[in-house]
């Protein structure tokens, strides 16, 4: 959550922005249905700086786990 005061927030918003017709959370359900969000611990985030590197490592690990599982449970 932002720790900014109202004065700081007001300075960032330009007068031509008009959200009076906006609907809060209009696309939230659609986004939640199509997104899996994982929060990484800081030490892990230092190693995996983008989604591609994290997914590549996770896929490699998943392959190893699957291979080992097939050995134990043929």
Q: What is the DSSP string of 15-52?
A: TT---TT--TTTTHHHHHHH----PPPHHHHHH--SHH
Structure tokens at 54: 């994290």
Contact, 40 vs 48, CB < 8 A? yes
Domain boundaries, the chain: 40-74
Structure tokens at 29: 């359900």
| Residue-level pLDDT at 71 | 86
What is the CB neighbour count within 10 angstroms for residue 51? 9
What would the pLDDT profile of 23-64 be if each residue is shown by its tens digit?
999 988 888 787 788 899 999 999 999 989 999 999 999 999
Q: Sorting pLDDT into bands at 50, 70 and 90, what band is 5?
A: low
Model pTM above 0.85? no
Higher pLDDT, 11 or 6: 11
| Residue-level pLDDT at 38 | 86
Contact, 57 vs 48, CB < 8 A? yes
């Amino acid at each position: 959550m932002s720790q900014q005061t109202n004065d700081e927030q007001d300075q960032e918003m330009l007068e031509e922005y008009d959200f009076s017709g906006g609907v809060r959370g209009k696309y939230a359900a659609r986004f939640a249905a199509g997104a899996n969000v994982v929060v990484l611990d800081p030490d892990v985030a230092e190693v995996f700086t983008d989604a591609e590197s994290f997914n590549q490592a996770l896929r490699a690990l998943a392959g190893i786990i699957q291979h080992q599982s097939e050995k134990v449970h043929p």
